[in-house]
Structure 1
Amino acid sequence: MDPQPGLSEVVDAILRYLHSHPEAADTVDGICEWWLPVHWCVDIPVVEAALARLQAQGLVRRRENADRHVVYSRPEDEAGPRSAQA
């Protein structure tokens, strides 16, 4: 069994995923399941800490949807053509 990755490795994996999937948006559970390598077993608090670090650096956007679920994505100004100003 692989050891649990460290915080920096989780941060890097999330950034790689967002680079490859710029329109991605998901909950912490979804990020654990879909954004991280399948062979990793990462505790939710580690993913939450990685997302908090990325949010503090302005690399991830945190928002609460109408169902009160917290969803993470790239910041609007990082998302590409949708954010272009006329």
Structure 2
Amino acid sequence: MRPQPRTSEVVDAILRYLHSHPDAADTVDGICEWWLPRHWRVDAQCVEAALLRMQAQGLVRRRENADHHVVYLRAKMPSVSVSGK
């Protein structure tokens, strides 16, 4: 059995997933199941640590739905204005 990946590896995997699926939003359990490589066995605490790190860096945001489920999604990127100069 493969050892649990480091938090930085989980962050990288989540970023790759969000790059391919920019509108994705899911719970920690859903991220464990669907966003990470199939052969990984990652516990929810490791994914939560990765998401907290990413949230602090402005890469993801946390949203609580009306049914009180917490989902994580890609943070909105600041719009860049292009001047005509």
- TM normalised by structure 2 equals 0.88
The equivalent residue for 1:33 is 33
Bigger-Rg structure (1/2) = 2
Query: 2:39 & 2:27 partners in 1: Cα distance?
Result: 19
What is the percentage of aligned positions where both structures have the same residue?
Answer: 78
The equivalent residue for 1:67 is 67
Q: For 2:33, give the aligned amino acid.
A: E
Query: 1:9 & 1:76 partners in 2: Cα distance?
Result: 22
Q: CA deviation at 1:2?
A: 1.2
- TM normalised by structure 1 equals 0.87
What SS does the aligned partner of 1:16 have?
helix
Query: 1:77 & 1:9 partners in 2: Cα distance?
Result: 22
Q: For 2:67, give the aligned amino acid.
A: D
Could you list the runs of 4 or more consecutive aligned residues of structure 1 that deviate by over 4 angstroms after TM superposition? none
CA-based RMSD: 1.6
Count of paired positions:
80
Query: 1:15 & 1:73 partners in 2: Cα distance?
Result: 10
| 1:15-54 deviation per Cα after TM superposition (whole angstroms, max 9, x unaligned) | 0000010000000000000000000001111000000000
Q: CA deviation at 1:61?
A: 0.8
User: Which structure carries more helix by proportion?
Assistant: 1
Q: CA deviation at 1:3?
A: 1.2
The equivalent residue for 1:23 is 23
